[in-house]
Structure 1
Amino acid sequence: MYLSKEKKTEIFEKYGSGKSDTGSPEAQIALFTYRINHLTEHLKQNRKDFNTERSLVKLVGKRRSLLDYLTKKDILRYRAIVKELGLRK
């Protein structure tokens, strides 16, 4: 399995306020980004896997809506997470 319990905990510790902070937008965005990167690599090798492609599009939409929410709530937190994850150039 590509996303183990330890990896999730590591992501939540790094981007959330603690290892049990799974609900903060920053932690969820970081988790979605990790999953998106994994699915993108999978699709580079398996071009006809349309179910994974659909899942990837849904994940990107969820991340986009969380980023929009964070923009409306606190623009400084949005800028910090975008810079830390390297989502924009």
Structure 2
Amino acid sequence: MPYLTTEKKANIFATHGGSATNTGSIEAQIAMVTERISSISKHLQQNKKDHSTQRGLMQLVGQRKRLLAYMQKHNLQGYRALIEKLGLRK
């Protein structure tokens, strides 16, 4: 069973990107990577020795970090709103 169905992806894009077809917006990309990170984190809590998935998780965290840095540099108000909405930094 896939962790993200088409409906769930469309919902994420509609919520964060403005519409279900706006997959290129930086907010939608960050939200999608965050959803993947949470899914993989749940998997790794049950499968502690899955090192290849752990490496993939670290790559996704780095990708999200780069996307957030880009957004912070170009749209500070949007960055702060997205951080609050996704509950990333505490």
Matched, 1:55 2:56: yes
Instruction: Measure, in 2, the Cα distance between the counterparts of 1:74 and 1:15.
Output: 15
**Aligned twin of 1:7:** 8
Report how many aligned residue pairs link the two structures.
89
Q: Which residue of 1 aligns with 2:85?
A: 84
Q: Distance in 1 between matches of 2:60 and 2:35?
A: 11
Aligned AA (2:76): I
Q: Does 1:68 align with 2:69?
A: yes
TM-score by length of 1: 0.97
Query: Unpaired runs of 5+ in structure 1?
Result: none
Q: Which runs of 5 or more structure 2 residues have no equivalent in the other structure? A: none
Percent pairwise identity: 49
- What is the TM-score with the length of structure 2 in the denominator? 0.96
Could you list the runs of 4 or more consecutive aligned residues of structure 1 that deviate by over 6 angstroms after TM superposition? Answer: none
Amino acid at match of 1:37: S
- Deviations, residues 17-49 of structure 1 (Å, cap 9, x unaligned): 211000111000000111100100100110010
* Residue in structure 2 matched with residue 22 of structure 1 by the alignment: 23
